Amino acid sequence: MLKRLLLLLPLLWLAACSTTSPPMPRPGDGGVLSPAALPAWQQQNMGDTLSALQQSCKVTARKPGWQAVCADAARIPSGDDTRTRLFFESHFNAWAVRDSAGSGGLITGYYEPLLNGSRSRSERTPYPVYGVPADLLVLDYPPALHGRSVLVARKAAGNRLQLLPGKNEAAPGEIEIHPADFPVDPRSNKLKGRLAGNRLLPYYTRAEIAQGKGVASAPVLAWVEDPVELFFLQVQGSGRIQLEDGSFLHVGYAEQNGYAYQSIGKWLVEKGELTLSAASMQGIQGWIKAHPGRQQELFAVNPSYVFFKTLPGGDSGPAGALGVPLTGGYSIAVDPHYIPLGTPVYLATTWPLSQQPLTRLVHAQDTGSAIRGAVRADLFWGYGSEAGMYAGRMKQSGSMWMLLPKGMTPSMAAAP
């Protein structure tokens, strides 16, 4: 999923702290301490965190220093909190996560929406959930090529384009690309476009897609009742659609139209339509209900548009950037430049819009385009309305500790 762009992510609100974090102990010299010394460690419910670790181990067990840890984790019976706690204490050290501003950072939340829908279009369900259009083409655009005025490519497998190095003029059957035509997204090394003759042009914006452009070749995975919920489904990157027979369709990010995400919450604050404190997901939904005639104007502020694919059924969460299912309440998105994916992270923050401490051993299993910096995390709350309530209101300050296998340092963990 966080191979996806948003994934997550992108936030609907401004990245600003709204509460203060609970008091934290000072780590010892070098920023390392025993997990037993972490705040509220003895009060932790270890069942879900063990399950999340076992999911991470499907990937991390192949990395140096993790094989024995993951083998021991697999032998712990579910529900044995005491044994699980002792396992973490005996196998891990906790390293304080800091940046130039110190150990405090921003903790936000994300979730999987639950929508009502149908396999068929009707008066009740007129809004389409699109798969990837057949005319959407994707080109890898490595930084080494930035600044080139003309590129040449040819079609490869699926919707991918393959660069032809050294060429600046397209022969018959080849595609000419002018990078200056495309929107600048410093977080992406891909160009997304469509063909006009033999030239690649930017793909359609959200506003253009809303007018019907570019989606004639896109499969419709489902039709849903509410366009606002569909917008939030795109922002979150995955979700579930309950069909008329009671079954669920699980959908997740497949592709995106090539435009950088723009926060509609930030736009509303800048326009004086909402205060900063009210620019939560719930606040934005309330504004739309009060101004239904301006809904499309607001949505068009964000030119990014997400196309979906169906995901396997069952109760497991969506797959994160690590490639394993996310665990509601125990998976986080991080900036992998600072915290390697698969790492257990002890999170000390507060509940949304509250001073009540929230301390939990979570796992770095996802990334997101809005998640940048060392002390920065996006907590995955699960799916449905309750998860959305927590995720949409969460803008807390907090502290983080990485738990690394004993004998491993942060610099060793960051090594490829």
| CA–CA separation, 34 and 323 (whole Å) | 29
| CA–CA separation, 4 and 94 (whole Å) | 30
Determine the structural domain holding residue 195 and report its residue range: 137-202
Residues 129, 150 within the same domain:
no
Residue 313 forms part of a structural domain: yes
Question: What is the DSSP secondary structure assignment for residue 392, as one 8-state letter?
Answer: H
Residues 359, 279 within the same domain:
yes
pTM, 2 dp = 0.74
Residues 249, 113 within the same domain:
yes
Beta-strand ranges (E) seen in 198-343 are 199-202, 220-224, 238-242, 248-256, 306-310, 331-333
Q: Is 226 exposed, middle or buried (0-12, 13-18, 19+ CB in 10 A)?
A: middle
CATH of the domain at 110: 2.40.40.10
pLDDT digit string (tens) for 54-90?
999 999 999 999 999 999 999 999 889 999 999 999 9
Could you identify the residue written with the tokens 């670790």? 53
Residues 27, 88 within the same domain:
yes
pLDDT at 278: 81
Residues 263, 379 within the same domain:
yes
Q: Give the bridge partners for 267, in sequence order.
A: none
Residues 128, 148 within the same domain:
no
Number of domains in the chain: 2
Residue 209 forms part of a structural domain: no
Low-confidence ranges of the chain (pLDDT < 50): 1-30
Residue 211 forms part of a structural domain: no
